[in-house]
Every structure is written in C-alpha cells, then in structure tokens.
Amino acid sequence: MEGAVDLLQRAKAGDPDAFAALVEENRGSLLRLCYKMTGSQEDAEDLVQETLLRALRGIAGFELRSSLATWLHRIATNLCLDHQRRRPPWREERRWQWFAEHADLLGQVEQGLFLSPEAAFEIKEVAATCLNCLQMTLPAKQRAALILCDQLGFSRAEAAQIIGCSVPSAKTELHRARTKMAAIYDRRCALVDRDNECNACIVSGAAQRRQRERPAGERG
Amino acid sequence: MEHVERLLSDYLDGELSHEAARQVAAHLTECLACARRFRSLRRTVRFIQSNGRVPIEPGSAAGAMARFNQALMQPGASEADVQRVLAEEGWRFLPDDAAGEAE
C-alpha cells in the first residue's frame, strides 16, 4: 500500500487515481458535513462534487502544512457557507404549528410510520434526523461549528481553520450553537420533559418494542 | 464570578485552565441558575455527540421524515410542498379519511 506522501506527490503531478485514493477516506465525512449544513441530500452531493473538483484543481499547491482532511473540509465548508448565505435558516415555529393544527394526523402518521414493515426505525435514526433538522434553524456559522466539533470529531483549533476564523471565535460559535439547541430541546423534546410536545422518539421506541414482542408470524 | 455562562462549554470540554475550572465548579455549587444551565448544556451536548454520527440513508423512513421536516421548516415552503412530500413518500398507511383530510 502506497504511503500518503507518495500518493500526494503523484496527485500533485496530475495523477487522478492517486488523487481519488487520497481523498477517498474523507468522502463520507464531506458528504455528512454538506448534508448537515444544507439539509438536502441533492445539494450535499453537488457540493461534495464541487469540493473535489476544486481540490483537484488546487492539489498542486497543497503542502502538508495543514492536514488533508482539514484542507478538504475547509473547501467544503466555504462552499456550504456560500450556499447558505442566500438561504435563511429553517424556521422551527412552522413545524410545531403544523403538528398542533393536525394533531390527530400526527398520532396516525407516527403510528403508521414507525409500525410499517419498511420503516425499521431505530430511535437513534429519529433522534439523528431530528438533530439534523433542528440545527438547520441555526445561523450557518454556528451550525458549522456544531457539526465540525460535536459531530465530525474535529478539534476547536481545526474547526477554526476549517471555518476560517480565530479559535476564540470558533469556541463562541460552538457555545452559541449548543445553547440554542439546548433551549429547543428543553422546550420541545419529551425525552427531556415528558410534558413537552414532541414525543417522536418515545412513540418510535414503543412501536419498535411492540414489533419485537409480536409472535414472528404476525410481524409486518 | 463574571460571565460564567460563556465559559460553560469550555468547562464541559475540559478546555479551561485548572484554576478557571476550579472557580467555575465552585460557582456551580452556589448558583442554581448556572447549575441548571450547565445540566441542560451537558445533556444536549451528550445527545448531539451520540446521535450526530448516526448515518441517514436517503431512501429510508428517516430520510422521508427529513424531507417532511424540510417542507415544513424551510422558509418559502408552502402547504403544497408539505402535501407533495406526503404524497411522494407514499404515506399509504394513513387511513383513507385522514389522507382525504390532508388533501
């Protein structure tokens, strides 16, 4: 297996296979970043493609001063921040309002969605989806800090490099993001307070348990 | 201690100096409001860190839920978008009268 340094040399010389091998292990993380930043699978795929195109064009000038992962995620984050600049954050209120207006529907949708044979929902998937959607209500830079540090495992220093700001600035964005998310969960999530209105995870968990407890012949 | 609230993330992640951390810890034993904020922050961060890495398959029910949320929460999205997602995701398990009501 070729060393990273050799691959880099070949990639800088214009070898597309060496470039592909070099970026391969970052592809999943880049896709997760772009999906979590935009809330759209299509946009995420486009942005990752654009990221790799720009990286290919820029690889000649890349030195191992920063890590390859940081460099790639910086390109992607800049593209996502640009993408989001023209799009305001999602609005929370509409979601709660809709479900309040369609309260009966909500109960049926949750039962059906979580009980249907195709669903195979785990609570973790519900919680993960919920997180992705709720963090779309954050300003883009706060969202980026939250994703990079708490979901993709970058350090604060790396996140600052990726976002293109100072470390204290990155720490502030991270703390603001976490605080806003805490306020939403405290107000809305029934896992936090049983009286809160959103109990999607609880319904899902109960439905999964009932599915498992059914005799094998009866399950969807 | 001034501005403890702003230090709570750093404190949670072990990023404060030994002395600053000691002062924050002491403050949290005395100030109910900050202690509550810290518990809320810690719970939220743990939740985000454990659920933030779960992959979402685009074709899965979770992906459908995400598109539904997007139709609800994205600025500029209308009721028509919500109905379109409901129709496209084939939420066929809705009883007929509820599906009629949704339309």
Whether A167 contacts chain B with CB within 8 A: no
What pLDDT score does A114 carry? 59
Q: Does the predicted model carry a pTM greater than 0.80?
A: yes
Q: Is the pLDDT of residue B103 over 50?
A: no
Mean pLDDT by 10 residues, chain A (220 residues): 79 90 92 95 96 94 84 97 96 86 69 57 80 96 98 97 97 98 93 81 70 62
Question: Measuring CA to CA, which residue among A41, A206, A189 is closest to residue A123?
Answer: A206
Question: Measuring CA to CA, which residue among A72, A25, A82 is closest to residue A48?
Answer: A72
Residue, of A36 and B54, whose pLDDT is higher: A36
Residue B44 and residue A150 in contact, taking contact as beta carbons nearer than 8 Å = no
The pLDDT mean for chain B works out to: 84
Amino acid identity of A71?
A: W
**Which residue does chain A place closest to B79, by CA atoms?**
A98
Q: Is the pLDDT of residue B34 over 80?
A: yes
Q: Please give the structure tokens belonging to residue A178.
A: 């976490």
What pLDDT score does B55 carry? 79
- Could B70 and A128 be called an inter-chain contact, meaning their C-beta atoms sit closer than 8 Å? no
Please give the average per-residue pLDDT across B35-56, as a whole number: 92
Residue B56: how many CB atoms within 10 A of its CB? 18
Residue B52: how many CB atoms within 10 A of its CB? 22
Whether B82 contacts chain A with CB within 8 A: yes
Using a CB-CB cut-off of 8 Å, the residues of chain B touching A126 are: 62, 65
What pLDDT score does A216 carry? 63
CA pair distance A198, A127, nearest whole angstrom: 11
Using a CB-CB cut-off of 8 Å, the residues of chain A touching B47 are: 127, 131, 185
CA pair distance A92, A105, nearest whole angstrom: 19
What pLDDT score does B40 carry? 96
Using a CB-CB cut-off of 8 Å, the residues of chain A touching B35 are: none
Q: Please give the structure tokens belonging to residue A138.
A: 């954050």
Q: How large is the ipTM? A: 0.87
* Residue A139, SS3 per DSSP: coil
Provide the shortest C-alpha distance from residue A64 to chain B (in Å).
Answer: 27
Residue, of A95 and B40, whose pLDDT is higher: B40
What pLDDT score does B56 carry? 74
Amino acid identity of A88?
A: P
Chain A, residues 33-62, CB within 8 A of chain B, namely: 35, 39-41
Grade residue B54 by pLDDT with cuts at 50, 70 and 90.
Answer: confident
Provide the shortest C-alpha distance from residue B31 to chain A (in Å).
Answer: 18
